[in-house]
Amino acid sequence: MAKTHVTMKVNGTEVEGLVEPRTLLVHFLRENLSLTGTHIGCETTHCGACTVDLDGMSVKSCTVFAVQAQGSEILTIEGVANADGTLSALQEGFRMMHGLQCGFCTPGMIVRAQRLLQENPRPSEEEIRMGISGNICRCTGYQNIVRAIQYAADKINGVEFKEAAE
Amino acid sequence: MIPGSFAYHRPKSIAEAVGLLADLGDEARALAGGHSLIPMMKLRLATPEHLVDLAAIGDLQGVRADGADIVIGAMTTQHDLLASEEIAKSLPILHEAALLIADPQVRYMGTIGGNVANGDPGNDMPALMMTLGASYRLEGASGGRNIAASEFYQGAYFTALEPGEILTSISVPLPAAGHGYAYEKLKRKVGDYATAAAAVVLTMAGGKVATCAIGLTNLHETPLLATGAAKAVIGTSLDATTLKKAAAAAEAIMSPAADARGPVEYRKHVGGIMVTRALQRAAAGAK
């Protein structure tokens, strides 16, 4: 099948490549651009490990063709840190609150949570849980992931993070 | 999990899209959000040779009021529906239902047009559209036509859509002022299709049900209108006997498949419970 030329902006950088139309966005990111932070978990649109931000939407990049992302702006976990290389509020939250164990789901969780906090800067615990309901974690039981996102929301809002009473 | 090869087309207008579908014939499929089609392609259960992506067609986007109807463009995503003030104000049952579809990521991509046109008995919007008395606009190379949602579904994945036609918009008549509504969906987990679900839109007058429509999701190979159950509640105050009668009338038309969501008897049983709960909640919310 003839290859198609695609261009997009990934983590602020213009990129291009030749892809077959059937190339999934996650394969383009990982194999053409060597951005392997975006993980392939289930490959069946369930687990959310491959979540990236595409033109302001959280999408599962295993279920989008690279050709559909032609001309779009994409953010992956590699583009999440602050410009000076320090950890973003979410990354710091995951570190401080022990929001990961094996870490496989973490790139998708953080990219998803970043979009969630942009749309809803002060989410309730319930809204956080619903907001990450497309991302599966098999280690943490989610408790510390929720805390990590609460930590980041408080930091972004300039409020001191206080653990909710158990 | 790599799909078969295909050629990708990205038309800019409805005319160009239906022209492409007519020229390319049976081996072409329209691509909306892709969250039903792409998983099927990855499993090689669908192997189209051409995909006609509808994403660049501006005329398929957006929600607008048109007289007594709300017109929803086919490429409007579930996320767009949730963000739409018009939907929240005029068709709050769609807001409620969209929140129960899949998960946040899928809702950013999944479209209402794909949801209603695919003919998947597990999709939620078809039964809602039947309950609301909606109609679909279909466009093909030889012209356009309107069809009632209640006449669109013929079997699992079989619809009135002719080869080469695409569904371009949905027109939903504004429900009566003060109507009550509820969509009760039992599912095993976020992202799952309904084990059983029921939609109710009703109006009350003097404490009694004045009008009522009931739709059922994933309880038959097509979405269903439970007309017998709806008739049973008209003129009543939804007392316990009436609710039992309505649930039994709805269960009588259900014929769900036995699958991982449960055996037939269980799914019919919980289907009746969804009808009961939806009736009660809709009545409580009616003004």
The stretch B105-123 carries a mean pLDDT of 97
What pLDDT is stored for residue B247 in this prediction? Answer: 98
**Angle made by CA atoms B8, B19, A55, in degrees to the nearest 5:** 40
Instruction: Search chain B and give the residue with CA nearest A66.
Output: B8
What pLDDT is stored for residue A165 in this prediction? Answer: 53
The stretch B126-132 carries a mean pLDDT of 98
Q: Are B100 and B140 in contact (CB under 8 A)?
A: no
Q: Are B257 and B281 in contact (CB under 8 A)?
A: no
Shortest distance between the Cα of B38 and any Cα of chain A, in A, equals: 6
Topology of domain B7-53, CATH: 3.30.43
Task: Tell me the two tokens of residue B233.
Answer: 């509640």
Mean confidence (pLDDT) of chain B: 97
What pLDDT is stored for residue A109 in this prediction? Answer: 98
What pLDDT is stored for residue A161 in this prediction? Answer: 86
What pLDDT is stored for residue B34 in this prediction? Answer: 97
From first CA to last CA, the distance across chain A in angstroms is 58
Task: Tell me the two tokens of residue B211.
Answer: 């009008």
Cβ–Cβ gap A57/B108 under 8 Å: yes
Task: Tell me the two tokens of residue A114.
Answer: 């970043």
Task: Tell me the two tokens of residue A17.
Answer: 């490549």
What pLDDT is stored for residue B256 in this prediction? Answer: 97
**pLDDT band at residue A12 using 50, 70 and 90 as cut-offs:** very high
What pLDDT is stored for residue B1 in this prediction? Answer: 83
Which has more pLDDT, B212 or A160? Answer: B212
Instruction: Search chain B and give the residue with CA nearest A2.
Output: B7
Task: Tell me the two tokens of residue B137.
Answer: 């606009």
Spatial distance between the Cα atoms of B134 and B77, rounded to a whole number of angstroms: 18
> What 8-state DSSP symbol labels residue B26?
G
What pLDDT is stored for residue B105 in this prediction? Answer: 98
Size of chain B, expressed as the number of residues it contains = 287
- Which CATH number is B181-285's, of 3.30.390.50, 3.40.640.10, 3.40.50.2300, 3.40.50.1370? 3.30.390.50
- Which of B7, B51, B103 is facing A134, going by the closest CB pair? B103
Could you give phi then psi for residue B182, rounded to 5 degrees?
-165, 145
Question: Which pLDDT tens digit goes with each residue over A40-84?
Answer: 999 999 999 999 999 999 999 999 999 999 999 999 999 999 999
Instruction: Report whether pLDDT(B33) > 60.
Output: yes
Spatial distance between the Cα atoms of B170 and B134, rounded to a whole number of angstroms: 7
Task: Tell me the two tokens of residue A115.
Answer: 């979009």
Q: Is A116 on the interface with B (CB under 8 A)?
A: yes
Shortest distance between the Cα of B228 and any Cα of chain A, in A, equals: 36
Q: Please name the CATH architecture into which domain B61-173 falls.
A: 2-Layer Sandwich (3.30)
**Angle made by CA atoms B11, B13, B18, in degrees to the nearest 5:** 75
Question: Which pLDDT tens digit goes with each residue over A116-155?
Answer: 999 999 999 999 999 999 999 999 999 999 999 999 999 9
**pLDDT band at residue B48 using 50, 70 and 90 as cut-offs:** very high
Considering only CA atoms, which of A61, A75, A77 is closest in space to residue A8? A75
B31 pairs with which residues across the strands?
B53
Domains of chain A: 4-79 (3.10.20.30), 89-156 (1.10.150.120)
Instruction: Report whether pLDDT(B155) > 70.
Output: yes
For residue A160, count other CB atoms closer than 10 A to its CB: 6
As a dihedral over the C-alpha atoms of residue B15, residue A22, residue A113, residue B101, rounded to 10 degrees, the angle is 60
User: Which regions of chain B carry the CATH code 3.30.390.50?
Assistant: 181-285
- Which of A22, A44, A51 is facing B3, going by the closest CB pair? A22
The stretch B218-234 carries a mean pLDDT of 98
User: Which regions of chain B carry the CATH code 3.30.465.10?
Assistant: 61-173
Q: Residue A57: list chain B partners with CB under 8 A.
A: 79, 108-109
**Angle made by CA atoms B142, B59, B88, in degrees to the nearest 5:** 125
What pLDDT is stored for residue A162 in this prediction? Answer: 82
Residue type, B64: R
Interface confidence, given as ipTM, is 0.95
Question: Which pLDDT tens digit goes with each residue over B174-195?
Answer: 999 999 999 999 999 999 999 9
Task: Tell me the two tokens of residue A162.
Answer: 């206080």
What pLDDT is stored for residue A2 in this prediction? Answer: 86
Instruction: Report whether pLDDT(B131) > 90.
Output: yes
The H or E element containing residue A163 is none
What pLDDT is stored for residue B144 in this prediction? Answer: 97
**pLDDT band at residue A164 using 50, 70 and 90 as cut-offs:** low
Question: Which pLDDT tens digit goes with each residue over B160-172?
Answer: 999 999 999 999 9
Cβ–Cβ gap A65/B55 under 8 Å: no
Spatial distance between the Cα atoms of A144 and A155, rounded to a whole number of angstroms: 16
Considering only CA atoms, which of B17, B104, B53 is closest in space to residue A71? B53
Size of chain A, expressed as the number of residues it contains = 166
Please give the full DSSP string across A55-101, using - where no structure is assigned: TTEEEEGGGSBGGGGTT-EEE-GGG-S-TTSPPPHHHHHHHHTT--S
Spatial distance between the Cα atoms of B219 and A152, rounded to a whole number of angstroms: 43
Q: Residue A137: list chain B partners with CB under 8 A.
A: none
Strands B63-66 and B50-53: unpaired
Q: Residue B4: list chain A partners with CB under 8 A.
A: 22
Shortest distance between the Cα of B190 and any Cα of chain A, in A, equals: 7
**pLDDT band at residue B120 using 50, 70 and 90 as cut-offs:** very high
Strands B7-9 and B50-53: parallel
Spatial distance between the Cα atoms of B214 and B93, rounded to a whole number of angstroms: 12
Q: Is A31 on the interface with B (CB under 8 A)?
A: no
- Which of B55, B103, B109 is facing A133, going by the closest CB pair? B103
Cβ–Cβ gap B106/A4 under 8 Å: no
**pLDDT band at residue B60 using 50, 70 and 90 as cut-offs:** very high
Q: Are B244 and B222 in contact (CB under 8 A)?
A: no
Q: Are B224 and B215 in contact (CB under 8 A)?
A: yes
Instruction: Search chain A and give the residue with CA nearest B39.
Output: A44
Rg of the Cα trace of chain A?
Answer: 16
Spatial distance between the Cα atoms of B268 and B43, rounded to a whole number of angstroms: 30
Three-class DSSP category at A152:
helix
Q: Are B221 and B245 in contact (CB under 8 A)?
A: no
What pLDDT is stored for residue A163 in this prediction? Answer: 75
The stretch B226-248 carries a mean pLDDT of 98
Considering only CA atoms, which of A135, A90, A77 is closest in space to residue A109? A135
Question: Which pLDDT tens digit goes with each residue over B76-96?
Answer: 999 999 999 999 999 999 999
Instruction: Search chain B and give the residue with CA nearest A56.
Output: B108
